[in-house]
Amino acid sequence: MTDRLLELFEQSNGAFLSGEELSERLQISRTAVWKQIERLRQQGYRFEAAPRKGYRLLAKPDIFDLPAFIGKLQTERFGKHVKYYDEVDSTQTVALSLVAEGAPEGTLVLAERQTAGRGRMGRQWHSPKGKGLWMSMILRPKHIPLSFTPQLTLLVSVALCRAIRAIVPVEAGIKWPNDLLIGGRKAAGILLESSAENETLQHIIAGVGIGVNLEPDDYPPELRNVATSLFIEAGYRIDRVELLCRFLLEWEQLYALYHEQGFAPIKLLWEALSVSLHKPIRCQTAQGLVDGYAEGIDELGALAIRLQDGTIRKMYSGDVEFR
């Protein structure tokens, strides 16, 4: 019943609908109309009620429109199996249990909210309800050596950066290895949890968190200077369905390209989108700080840093800062 009511409000394009009209068209009493509207209000819809005019829909709750997503998705496999949750502890944890059950490549776990979202190095990932895309995807790469895993990390960041640039008019860039920055602040993060048998990759759970429609108040104080969202940067709300469909399509296409042609084309795309290259950087590693000039990435995805004495040092992991 609330579905039909919503349909009427959506067709009205923000105009008022009187209680009498709604009652007639839905063939329910005016009291029942009022009850349905109250129910929608509890779900997060906002209505204006005015004497003699009736009701009009002011705002819908930002609930991910799963049917629209399924209808619009243009991929062959990525996201074709989708598990959508209102709330989970962590989409990574849910995806891991799906891997154990044999879920196919491209299985997507999506949640409106994570209560214990995970970031890199055991850090927490802030995932407020309905404001972002908090997701994990299962990959089962074919015959990819373990040493090539960093290439897949870079591939995901390229796909995400291209999707954001296609949908939102912002200059998104990639900080090595895979942070998405806009104007120097982080708008999205990627966490790849992988498993391998000897020298061959078995599966990857690719966790991606995109700050889509967070407003400044949605961030805890310690994140306000370092994090941003697409909404904050663009100045308007971003359609999460459209963004996710584009991201999955870019990702699937790059992933196919990678399996066909290897890392070379991905490397070129990454370099073009990178904000880390050709500048002085400082890299925090387990062995201490490394200062140098970021020369490029190598065929395995390692960052090549030229030190002051001219030697090249390759970084396989670490946190990069600009000096």
Shortest distance, CB of residue 108 to its own copies, whole angstroms?
A: 19
Query: Which of residues 109, 139, 170, 192 is near its own copies by CB under 8 A?
Result: 192
Q: How far is the CB of 280 from its own copies (least distance, A)?
A: 22
What tokens does 255 get? 């992933």
Residue 196 binds its own copies, judged by CB under 8 A: yes
Q: Which is nearer to its own copies, 40 or 190 (CB)?
A: 190
Question: Residues 207-236: x/- map of binding to its own copies (CB under 8 A)?
Answer: ------------------------------
Q: Is 119 annotated as a binding residue?
A: yes
Mapped onto helix, strand or coil, the DSSP state of residue 167 is: helix
Query: For 39-65, b where at least 16 C-beta lie within 10 A, e where not — what string?
Result: ebeeeebebeeeeeebbbbeeeebebe
Work out the end-to-end distance of the chain between its first and last CA atoms, rounded to an integer number of angstroms.
Answer: 59
Contact with its own copies (CB under 8 A) among 198, 217, 222, 309: 198
- Does the annotation flag 71 for ligand binding? no
Q: Using the rule CB under 8 A, is 31 a contact of its own copies? A: no
Rounded distance, CA 202 to CA 312, Å? 32
CA dist., res. 228 & res. 4, Å (int): 37
For its own copies, the binding residues in 252-291 under the rule CB under 8 A are: 285-287
Residue closer to its own copies, measured from CB, 287 or 311: 287
Residue 279 annotated in ligand binding: no
Least distance (Å) from its own copies to the CB of residue 277?
17
148 lines the binding site for its own copies (CB under 8 A): yes
Q: Is 114 annotated as a binding residue?
A: yes
> In this chain, which of 193, 239, 242, 319 binds its own copies, going by CB under 8 A?
193
Among 108, 158, 187, 190, contact with its own copies (rule: CB under 8 A):
190
Q: Which residues make beta-bridge pairs with 180?
A: 174, 188
Asked if residue 118 belongs to a known ligand binding site, the reply is yes
Closer of 124 and 195 to its own copies (Cβ): 195
With CB under 8 A as the contact rule, the residue among 106, 128, 177, 209 that binds its own copies is: 177
Longest dimension (CA), the chain: 83
**β-bridge mates for residue 306, sequence order:** 293, 312
Counting residues that bind its own copies (by CB under 8 A) gives: 31
Query: In the structure encoding, which two tokens stand for residue 323, read together?
Result: 């000096």
CA distance 123 to 89: 14
- Residue 295 burial (CB count, 10 A): 15
CA 283 – CA 136 distance, rounded (Å): 28
Residue 244 token pair:
């996710």
Q: Are 46 and 55 in contact (CB under 8 A)?
A: no
Exactly one of 120, 165, 185, 282 binds its own copies (CB under 8 A); that residue is 120
DSSP 8-state assignment for residue 146: G
Give the other-Cβ count within 10 Å of 203's Cβ.
Answer: 18
Between residues 191 and 232, which has the closer beta carbon with respect to its own copies? 191
Question: Which residues of this protein are in contact with its own copies, per CB under 8 A?
Answer: 120-121, 142-143, 145-150, 153, 177-178, 190-200, 285-287, 300, 302, 316-317
The annotated binding site for biotin is made up of: 114, 118-120, 186
